[in-house]
Copies of this chain bind each other. A is one copy, B any other.
Amino acid sequence: MNFVSDHLYGIHGTVLAAICSANTALTSPSYSADDWTARAAKLMNGVFERDVETRLVSTGTIANAMALASLVRPFNAVLAYCDAHIIVDECGAVEFYSGGARTLGIKEPRGKITAAGLEARLKGFVRAEHDPVPSAVSITQSSELGTVYTVEEVAAIAEVARAHGMKVHMDGARFANAVASLGCAPAEVTWKAGVDVLSFGTTKNGTMGVDAIVFFDRDLAAGFAHRQLQAGQLMSKSRFLGAQMEAYLTNDLWLDNARKANANATRLAEGIKDATDLRLPLGAEANQLFPIVSRRLYDHLIAAGAQFAVWPGVGSLIDQPSEDEVQIRLVTSFNTRQEDIDAFIAAVHAAGVQ
Protein backbone atom coordinates (compact mmCIF):
# COMPACT_ATOMS: atom_id res chain seq x y z
CA MET A 1 0.00 0.00 0.00
CA ASN A 2 2.60 2.50 -1.12
CA PHE A 3 1.12 5.87 -2.04
CA VAL A 4 4.15 7.95 -1.10
CA SER A 5 5.09 8.94 -4.61
CA ASP A 6 4.84 7.73 -8.18
CA HIS A 7 8.61 7.91 -8.48
CA LEU A 8 9.01 5.01 -6.06
CA TYR A 9 7.70 2.71 -8.74
CA GLY A 10 10.08 1.24 -11.32
CA ILE A 11 10.66 1.33 -15.04
CA HIS A 12 7.96 0.35 -17.50
CA GLY A 13 8.90 -2.87 -19.30
CA THR A 14 8.87 -1.26 -22.71
CA VAL A 15 11.27 1.44 -21.58
CA LEU A 16 13.64 -1.03 -19.99
CA ALA A 17 13.55 -3.14 -23.13
CA ALA A 18 14.54 -0.07 -25.12
CA ILE A 19 17.57 0.48 -22.88
CA CYS A 20 18.58 -3.14 -23.40
CA SER A 21 18.06 -2.87 -27.11
CA ALA A 22 20.15 0.28 -27.38
CA ASN A 23 22.98 -1.61 -25.77
CA THR A 24 23.23 -4.03 -28.66
CA ALA A 25 25.04 -1.42 -30.75
CA LEU A 26 28.75 -1.82 -30.06
CA THR A 27 29.39 1.90 -30.19
CA SER A 28 27.32 5.02 -30.56
CA PRO A 29 28.05 8.73 -30.76
CA SER A 30 27.89 10.51 -27.44
CA TYR A 31 26.68 13.82 -26.02
CA SER A 32 23.24 13.67 -27.66
CA ALA A 33 24.59 13.01 -31.15
CA ASP A 34 23.20 9.46 -31.12
CA ASP A 35 20.33 8.12 -33.19
CA TRP A 36 18.03 7.40 -30.26
CA THR A 37 18.14 10.98 -29.08
CA ALA A 38 17.50 12.15 -32.63
CA ARG A 39 14.47 9.93 -32.96
CA ALA A 40 13.16 10.99 -29.58
CA ALA A 41 13.46 14.63 -30.63
CA LYS A 42 11.51 13.86 -33.78
CA LEU A 43 8.80 12.14 -31.77
CA MET A 44 8.62 15.17 -29.50
CA ASN A 45 8.00 17.34 -32.57
CA GLY A 46 5.10 15.04 -33.33
CA VAL A 47 3.72 15.24 -29.81
CA PHE A 48 3.66 19.02 -30.01
CA GLU A 49 2.77 19.34 -33.68
CA ARG A 50 5.68 21.65 -34.36
CA ASP A 51 9.41 21.86 -34.47
CA VAL A 52 10.67 22.13 -30.90
CA GLU A 53 14.09 22.02 -29.28
CA THR A 54 14.25 18.95 -27.05
CA ARG A 55 17.10 18.59 -24.55
CA LEU A 56 17.37 15.52 -22.32
CA VAL A 57 18.55 15.81 -18.73
CA SER A 58 18.55 13.41 -15.82
CA THR A 59 16.10 14.87 -13.32
CA GLY A 60 13.08 17.10 -13.08
CA THR A 61 14.88 19.50 -10.80
CA ILE A 62 17.57 20.01 -13.43
CA ALA A 63 14.93 20.40 -16.11
CA ASN A 64 13.22 23.11 -14.10
CA ALA A 65 16.33 24.91 -12.98
CA MET A 66 18.07 24.88 -16.33
CA ALA A 67 14.91 25.84 -18.20
CA LEU A 68 14.41 28.79 -15.87
CA ALA A 69 18.09 29.71 -15.95
CA SER A 70 17.61 30.14 -19.68
CA LEU A 71 14.81 32.62 -19.05
CA VAL A 72 16.17 34.77 -16.27
CA ARG A 73 19.19 36.76 -15.21
CA PRO A 74 20.58 36.92 -11.68
CA PHE A 75 18.61 40.05 -10.82
CA ASN A 76 15.29 38.61 -11.97
CA ALA A 77 12.50 36.82 -10.15
CA VAL A 78 10.44 33.76 -11.01
CA LEU A 79 6.88 33.75 -9.76
CA ALA A 80 5.10 30.52 -8.93
CA TYR A 81 2.56 28.98 -6.56
CA CYS A 82 3.76 29.43 -2.96
CA ASP A 83 4.37 25.71 -2.51
CA ALA A 84 5.66 25.08 -6.02
CA HIS A 85 8.26 22.35 -6.24
CA ILE A 86 10.79 24.90 -7.49
CA ILE A 87 10.22 26.99 -4.37
CA VAL A 88 9.96 24.47 -1.56
CA ASP A 89 11.35 21.17 -2.81
CA GLU A 90 14.44 21.85 -4.87
CA CYS A 91 16.79 23.26 -2.24
CA GLY A 92 17.32 26.51 -4.11
CA ALA A 93 18.11 24.96 -7.49
CA VAL A 94 16.74 27.95 -9.39
CA GLU A 95 18.72 30.36 -7.24
CA PHE A 96 21.83 28.28 -7.83
CA TYR A 97 21.50 27.66 -11.56
CA SER A 98 20.50 31.25 -12.27
CA GLY A 99 23.22 32.69 -10.08
CA GLY A 100 20.91 34.59 -7.79
CA ALA A 101 17.42 34.97 -9.24
CA ARG A 102 14.71 34.67 -6.65
CA THR A 103 11.67 32.39 -6.63
CA LEU A 104 8.70 34.20 -5.15
CA GLY A 105 5.45 32.56 -4.23
CA ILE A 106 1.82 33.39 -4.80
CA LYS A 107 -0.66 31.95 -2.33
CA GLU A 108 -3.70 30.53 -4.06
CA PRO A 109 -6.60 28.37 -2.87
CA ARG A 110 -6.32 25.35 -5.15
CA GLY A 111 -2.61 24.85 -5.75
CA LYS A 112 -2.81 26.73 -9.04
CA ILE A 113 -1.83 30.31 -9.61
CA THR A 114 -4.46 32.36 -11.34
CA ALA A 115 -4.20 35.20 -13.81
CA ALA A 116 -5.74 37.46 -11.18
CA GLY A 117 -3.35 36.25 -8.52
CA LEU A 118 -0.40 36.83 -10.80
CA GLU A 119 -1.63 40.29 -11.70
CA ALA A 120 -2.07 41.15 -8.02
CA ARG A 121 1.36 39.82 -7.12
CA LEU A 122 2.97 41.91 -9.84
CA LYS A 123 1.42 45.00 -8.33
CA GLY A 124 3.56 44.30 -5.27
CA PHE A 125 6.74 45.10 -7.13
CA VAL A 126 6.82 48.70 -5.93
CA ARG A 127 10.40 48.93 -4.70
CA ALA A 128 11.97 49.91 -8.04
CA GLU A 129 15.54 48.61 -8.33
CA HIS A 130 15.32 47.15 -4.84
CA ASP A 131 13.02 44.49 -6.22
CA PRO A 132 14.19 41.87 -8.66
CA VAL A 133 12.56 42.13 -12.07
CA PRO A 134 9.86 39.50 -12.47
CA SER A 135 10.79 37.86 -15.74
CA ALA A 136 9.23 34.42 -15.65
CA VAL A 137 6.23 32.65 -14.24
CA SER A 138 6.32 28.93 -13.62
CA ILE A 139 3.17 26.84 -13.50
CA THR A 140 3.10 23.20 -12.46
CA GLN A 141 0.94 20.93 -14.58
CA SER A 142 -0.54 18.95 -12.91
CA SER A 143 -0.08 21.04 -9.80
CA GLU A 144 1.55 20.29 -6.47
CA LEU A 145 -1.97 19.78 -5.11
CA GLY A 146 -2.98 17.41 -7.88
CA THR A 147 -5.18 19.92 -9.66
CA VAL A 148 -4.98 20.49 -13.40
CA TYR A 149 -4.82 23.82 -15.21
CA THR A 150 -7.35 24.12 -18.00
CA VAL A 151 -6.21 25.43 -21.35
CA GLU A 152 -8.04 28.65 -20.60
CA GLU A 153 -6.34 29.07 -17.24
CA VAL A 154 -2.91 28.63 -18.78
CA ALA A 155 -3.73 31.05 -21.55
CA ALA A 156 -4.98 33.67 -19.10
CA ILE A 157 -1.81 33.42 -17.02
CA ALA A 158 0.35 33.59 -20.13
CA GLU A 159 -1.50 36.67 -21.28
CA VAL A 160 -0.74 38.46 -18.03
CA ALA A 161 2.86 37.30 -18.23
CA ARG A 162 3.23 38.51 -21.79
CA ALA A 163 1.78 41.88 -20.91
CA HIS A 164 4.49 42.27 -18.28
CA GLY A 165 7.33 41.07 -20.48
CA MET A 166 7.59 37.75 -18.69
CA LYS A 167 8.23 34.29 -20.05
CA VAL A 168 6.12 31.27 -19.18
CA HIS A 169 7.62 28.02 -17.91
CA MET A 170 5.62 24.90 -17.25
CA ASP A 171 6.89 22.40 -14.70
CA GLY A 172 5.53 19.24 -16.26
CA ALA A 173 6.88 16.70 -13.80
CA ARG A 174 3.39 15.18 -14.16
CA PHE A 175 2.59 16.69 -17.54
CA ALA A 176 1.37 13.34 -18.86
CA ASN A 177 -1.15 13.07 -16.05
CA ALA A 178 -2.43 16.54 -16.81
CA VAL A 179 -2.78 15.91 -20.54
CA ALA A 180 -4.48 12.57 -19.87
CA SER A 181 -6.84 14.34 -17.50
CA LEU A 182 -7.64 17.17 -19.88
CA GLY A 183 -7.94 14.95 -22.92
CA CYS A 184 -6.61 17.78 -25.02
CA ALA A 185 -3.72 17.91 -27.46
CA PRO A 186 -0.38 18.63 -25.75
CA ALA A 187 0.05 21.63 -28.02
CA GLU A 188 -3.20 23.15 -26.80
CA VAL A 189 -2.16 23.42 -23.21
CA THR A 190 1.42 24.48 -23.90
CA TRP A 191 2.68 26.66 -26.72
CA LYS A 192 -0.70 27.41 -28.17
CA ALA A 193 -1.68 28.71 -24.74
CA GLY A 194 1.52 30.75 -24.43
CA VAL A 195 4.02 28.44 -22.73
CA ASP A 196 7.62 29.15 -23.77
CA VAL A 197 9.46 26.27 -22.17
CA LEU A 198 8.26 23.00 -20.71
CA SER A 199 9.91 20.62 -18.29
CA PHE A 200 8.57 17.43 -19.80
CA GLY A 201 8.77 14.89 -17.00
CA THR A 202 8.87 11.16 -17.59
CA THR A 203 10.62 9.71 -14.56
CA LYS A 204 7.49 9.57 -12.40
CA ASN A 205 5.60 7.94 -15.24
CA GLY A 206 7.63 4.96 -16.33
CA THR A 207 11.19 5.77 -17.29
CA MET A 208 14.35 5.13 -15.33
CA GLY A 209 15.46 8.75 -15.23
CA VAL A 210 15.19 11.24 -18.05
CA ASP A 211 13.33 14.50 -18.32
CA ALA A 212 13.19 16.75 -21.35
CA ILE A 213 13.41 20.48 -21.56
CA VAL A 214 11.21 21.42 -24.49
CA PHE A 215 11.85 24.88 -25.88
CA PHE A 216 8.95 26.01 -28.02
CA ASP A 217 10.89 29.13 -28.89
CA ARG A 218 14.22 27.85 -30.11
CA ASP A 219 15.95 31.19 -29.61
CA LEU A 220 15.65 30.61 -25.89
CA ALA A 221 17.82 27.51 -26.31
CA ALA A 222 20.75 29.37 -27.84
CA GLY A 223 23.97 27.90 -26.50
CA PHE A 224 22.07 25.37 -24.44
CA ALA A 225 24.39 22.46 -25.26
CA HIS A 226 27.19 24.42 -23.61
CA ARG A 227 25.04 25.13 -20.59
CA GLN A 228 24.28 21.43 -20.37
CA LEU A 229 27.93 20.45 -20.59
CA GLN A 230 28.89 23.00 -17.98
CA ALA A 231 26.23 21.62 -15.66
CA GLY A 232 27.44 18.08 -16.31
CA GLN A 233 24.19 17.29 -18.04
CA LEU A 234 25.38 16.31 -21.48
CA MET A 235 25.76 12.60 -20.98
CA SER A 236 28.41 10.60 -22.79
CA LYS A 237 26.18 7.54 -23.14
CA SER A 238 23.27 9.66 -24.23
CA ARG A 239 21.82 6.87 -26.30
CA PHE A 240 20.33 5.42 -23.13
CA LEU A 241 18.49 8.63 -22.36
CA GLY A 242 17.38 8.83 -25.96
CA ALA A 243 16.20 5.25 -25.93
CA GLN A 244 14.09 5.81 -22.83
CA MET A 245 12.48 8.87 -24.30
CA GLU A 246 11.91 7.22 -27.65
CA ALA A 247 10.13 4.31 -26.02
CA TYR A 248 8.16 6.62 -23.77
CA LEU A 249 6.83 8.66 -26.67
CA THR A 250 6.22 5.74 -29.02
CA ASN A 251 2.65 4.50 -29.38
CA ASP A 252 1.49 6.93 -26.70
CA LEU A 253 3.03 4.89 -23.91
CA TRP A 254 3.34 8.11 -21.93
CA LEU A 255 -0.37 8.79 -22.17
CA ASP A 256 -1.33 5.19 -21.52
CA ASN A 257 0.73 5.17 -18.35
CA ALA A 258 -0.71 8.47 -17.24
CA ARG A 259 -4.26 7.31 -17.90
CA LYS A 260 -3.64 4.27 -15.76
CA ALA A 261 -2.16 6.34 -12.96
CA ASN A 262 -5.08 8.75 -13.13
CA ALA A 263 -7.61 5.93 -13.23
CA ASN A 264 -5.99 4.49 -10.13
CA ALA A 265 -6.37 7.81 -8.37
CA THR A 266 -9.98 8.10 -9.47
CA ARG A 267 -10.73 4.62 -8.26
CA LEU A 268 -9.07 5.36 -4.96
CA ALA A 269 -10.99 8.62 -4.62
CA GLU A 270 -14.29 6.98 -5.41
CA GLY A 271 -13.59 4.36 -2.82
CA ILE A 272 -12.80 6.73 0.02
CA LYS A 273 -14.59 9.97 -0.65
CA ASP A 274 -17.72 9.08 1.33
CA ALA A 275 -15.85 7.63 4.26
CA THR A 276 -16.20 8.93 7.76
CA ASP A 277 -13.43 11.19 9.00
CA LEU A 278 -12.18 12.02 5.49
CA ARG A 279 -12.75 14.84 3.03
CA LEU A 280 -11.39 15.33 -0.46
CA PRO A 281 -11.65 19.09 -0.98
CA LEU A 282 -9.78 19.09 -4.29
CA GLY A 283 -11.26 15.92 -5.78
CA ALA A 284 -9.23 13.68 -8.10
CA GLU A 285 -8.10 15.55 -11.19
CA ALA A 286 -4.91 13.64 -12.00
CA ASN A 287 -2.93 11.10 -9.97
CA GLN A 288 -2.59 12.81 -6.61
CA LEU A 289 -5.18 13.01 -3.83
CA PHE A 290 -4.99 15.30 -0.80
CA PRO A 291 -7.50 14.00 1.71
CA ILE A 292 -7.99 15.69 5.03
CA VAL A 293 -8.31 12.91 7.56
CA SER A 294 -8.93 12.73 11.26
CA ARG A 295 -6.00 11.83 13.48
CA ARG A 296 -7.88 8.72 14.36
CA LEU A 297 -8.11 7.64 10.74
CA TYR A 298 -4.52 8.63 10.16
CA ASP A 299 -3.37 6.39 13.01
CA HIS A 300 -5.51 3.58 11.75
CA LEU A 301 -4.09 3.78 8.26
CA ILE A 302 -0.53 3.79 9.51
CA ALA A 303 -1.31 0.82 11.71
CA ALA A 304 -2.78 -0.94 8.68
CA GLY A 305 0.51 -0.56 6.87
CA ALA A 306 -0.41 2.20 4.45
CA GLN A 307 2.44 4.40 3.28
CA PHE A 308 1.87 8.01 2.31
CA ALA A 309 3.13 11.50 3.09
CA VAL A 310 1.76 14.08 5.46
CA TRP A 311 1.57 17.20 3.37
CA PRO A 312 3.97 19.84 4.70
CA GLY A 313 2.60 22.64 2.52
CA VAL A 314 -0.28 25.03 3.02
CA GLY A 315 -2.67 22.73 1.20
CA SER A 316 -6.02 23.82 -0.12
CA LEU A 317 -7.12 27.14 1.26
CA ILE A 318 -10.75 26.29 0.59
CA ASP A 319 -10.78 23.64 3.30
CA GLN A 320 -8.04 23.49 5.89
CA PRO A 321 -7.54 20.69 8.42
CA SER A 322 -8.65 21.39 11.97
CA GLU A 323 -6.44 20.75 14.97
CA ASP A 324 -7.61 17.15 15.07
CA GLU A 325 -7.02 16.55 11.40
CA VAL A 326 -4.12 16.16 9.07
CA GLN A 327 -3.76 16.61 5.32
CA ILE A 328 -2.15 13.66 3.61
CA ARG A 329 -1.03 12.99 0.07
CA LEU A 330 -1.80 9.83 -1.88
CA VAL A 331 -0.06 9.35 -5.21
CA THR A 332 -0.84 6.63 -7.69
CA SER A 333 1.34 5.27 -10.42
CA PHE A 334 0.62 3.42 -13.65
CA ASN A 335 1.68 0.27 -11.86
CA THR A 336 0.11 0.79 -8.47
CA ARG A 337 -1.42 -2.55 -7.60
CA GLN A 338 -5.19 -2.81 -7.64
CA GLU A 339 -5.06 -4.88 -4.47
CA ASP A 340 -3.23 -2.05 -2.73
CA ILE A 341 -5.94 0.37 -3.74
CA ASP A 342 -8.61 -2.03 -2.54
CA ALA A 343 -6.78 -2.62 0.69
CA PHE A 344 -6.44 1.10 1.32
CA ILE A 345 -10.13 1.69 0.67
CA ALA A 346 -10.98 -1.16 2.97
CA ALA A 347 -8.71 0.23 5.66
CA VAL A 348 -10.39 3.61 5.44
CA HIS A 349 -13.82 2.14 5.86
CA ALA A 350 -12.71 -0.32 8.51
CA ALA A 351 -11.59 2.61 10.57
CA GLY A 352 -14.99 4.18 10.19
CA VAL A 353 -16.81 1.21 11.72
CA GLN A 354 -14.53 0.58 14.62
Interface set of A (CB-CB < 8 Å, partner B)? 2, 4-5, 7-11, 16, 19-20, 22-31, 57-63, 65-66, 73-77, 88-93, 95-102, 124, 126-133, 203-204, 208-209, 223, 225-237, 240, 312, 335, 337
Contact = CB atoms under 8 A, between A and B. Distances in A.
B20 A8 contact: no
Given A58-B232, A203-B236, A130 B89 contact: yes
A95 B100 contact: yes
Contact of A223 (B7, B73, B223, B227): B73
A95 B89 contact: no
Contacts of A20: 16, 20
Contacts of A26: 2, 9-10, 335, 337
A231 to B, nearest CB: 7
Contact of A92 (B28, B102, B124): B102
B29 A10 contact: no
A57 B57 CA distance: 13
A269 to B, nearest CB: 21
Contacts of A76: 223, 226
Max chain B CB contacts within 10 Å: which of A20, A59, A133, A231?
Answer: A231
A97 B7 CA distance: 27
A21 to B, nearest CB: 11
A75 B223 contact: yes
User: How many copies of this chain does one complex carry?
Assistant: 4
B226 A209 contact: no
Contacts of A4: 27
Contacts of A57: 232
18 contacts: A8-B29, A9-B26, A10-B23, A20-B20, A58-B58, A60-B232, A61-B229, A62-B233, A88-B131, A91-B129, A92-B102, A92-B132, A95-B95, A96-B100, A100-B230, A129-B225, A203-B236, A204-B236
A97 B98 CA distance: 11
Contacts of A98: 99
A230 B93 contact: yes
Contacts of A209: 58, 235-237, 240
Contact of A132 (B91, B208, B240): B91
A13 to B, nearest CB: 8
A76 B223 CA distance: 9
B62 A312 contact: no
A34 B22 CA distance: 26
Contacts of A10: 22-28, 237
A233 B65 CA distance: 12
A278 to B, nearest CB: 23
B234 A129 contact: yes
